[in-house]
Amino acid sequence: MHGTYEIPRLSADQMTAGLEAVTARLLRTLTVYDELASTNLWLKAQAGGAGATVVLAERQTAGRGRRGKSWHSPACHNLYLSLDWVFAARPDQLAGLSLGVGIKLAEVLAPRLQHPPGLKWPNDLFIDGQKLAGILIESIPDPTGHTRVIIGVGLNVLMQGEQRIDQPWTSLVHHVKDPALLNRNTLASLFLNALLPFLDHYLEQGDRYIQQHWSDHDLTRGQPVEVLSGETRVQGIGDGIDEQFRFRMRCHDGCQRSFSSGDISLRLR
């Protein structure tokens, strides 16, 4: 499909035209660049404010994933999108946000793909054991009790044949029901239509929504898993998330353990 599909350039006008009215009201600016070091880094250098600032790039020269890993970002093939949102909350009140963003992306893609993607905690999207998308969230608290959150999404759309990725991966081009979904402007609009209203109501409804819907997409529940924490390896069975949105596992001795984001690598065995 890639060989015959004409790849439209990213267009702020086309994305904006695809936004629902409620989403457009929550948007401050939407900007597209041919190249940035990193969309997240660009946003961090801007001032925050009411509504979402959204930035996309055709190519990133220093894209980043979780735990400081690089995110391979070739030109004009994938979706590299970052946005910010200011919450009247402390970072510890936003513990589930990373999972919620993953759920929203999964909900956008699931009905439009031949097989729905699943989530590997906290927010990586996989299809058939291959990574489709990753999400990086950075929190910047201020003295007033507010927190500015920067959300970065990397979604493989038309990438093929890349050798510099250290894990199995896949692209939307192999899974879509309708090739129209390969238009990255359409993808961005669909995602923003799902995500911005979710962010707007997160403090009132987000935690409950995540607890209710995480299991719909959880790849590891009931599956043998291995958690890597530093030099320590812990094996057991995935058991969803706990009330603090930590990854929960049943150990072989019958005990339950929870692991927090940032210091572990979760791998299906």
- Same-domain status, 96 and 24: yes
The predicted pLDDT at position 62 comes to 77
Mean local confidence (pLDDT), 126-155: 95
Give the model confidence (pLDDT) of 24-33 as tens digits. 999 999 999 9
**Does some domain include residue 172?**
yes
- Same-domain status, 178 and 89: yes
- Same-domain status, 142 and 41: yes
Task: Kindly report which listed range (117-121, 149-153, 187-191, 265-269) carries the lowest average pLDDT score.
Answer: 265-269
| CATH code at position 254 | 2.30.30.100
Does 164 or 34 have the greater pLDDT score?
34
Split at pLDDT 50, 70, 90, the class of 1 is very low
Give the model confidence (pLDDT) of 201-220 as tens digits. 999 999 999 999 999 999 99
**Does some domain include residue 167?**
yes
Range of the domain at 183: 12-217
Model's pTM, two decimal places? Answer: 0.91
- Same-domain status, 83 and 133: yes
The predicted pLDDT at position 66 comes to 53
Task: Kindly report which listed range (65-69, 109-113, 153-157) carries the lowest average pLDDT score.
Answer: 65-69
Among 193, 217, 241, where does a domain finish?
217
Does 220 or 63 have the greater pLDDT score?
220
The predicted pLDDT at position 91 comes to 96
Q: Could you identify the residue written with the tokens 């690598």?
A: 265
* Contact (CB, 8 A) for 106 and 209: no
Q: Cα–Cα distance between 85 and 23 in angstroms, integer? A: 13
Coil, strand, or helix at residue 159? coil
The answer, yes or no, to whether the previous bond of 116 is cis (omega within 30 of 0) is: no
**Does some domain include residue 4?**
no
Give the model confidence (pLDDT) of 127-138 as tens digits. 999 999 999 999
- Same-domain status, 166 and 239: no
CB burial of residue 34 (10 Å; 0-12, 13-18, 19+): exposed
| CATH code at position 127 | 3.30.930.10
Does 215 or 261 have the greater pLDDT score?
215
Q: Cα–Cα distance between 11 and 188 in angstroms, integer? A: 10
- Given strand 124-127, what is the order of strands in its sheet? 27-36, 52-60, 79-87, 147-155, 130-141, 124-127, 118-120
- Same-domain status, 89 and 212: yes
**Does some domain include residue 236?**
yes
Mean local confidence (pLDDT), 227-251: 91
Whether the pLDDT of residue 2 is over 70: the answer is no
- Same-domain status, 232 and 211: no
**Does some domain include residue 140?**
yes
Distances in Å between the Cα of 202 and the Cα atoms of 93, 96, 213 are 10, 10, 14
The predicted pLDDT at position 264 comes to 64
- Same-domain status, 104 and 125: yes
The predicted pLDDT at position 162 comes to 57
R_g over Cα of the chain: 18
Looking at every residue in the chain, the average pLDDT score rounds to: 90
DSSP code for 150: E
**Which of 52, 50, 53 shows the shortest CA–CA distance to 42?**
53
- DSSP-assigned beta bridge partners for residue 82: 55, 152
- Same-domain status, 135 and 236: no
Domain count within the chain: 2
The predicted pLDDT at position 168 comes to 82
- Same-domain status, 61 and 175: yes
Task: Kindly report which listed range (48-62, 157-171, 181-195, 243-257) carries the lowest average pLDDT score.
Answer: 157-171
Q: Cα–Cα distance between 125 and 118 in angstroms, integer? A: 6
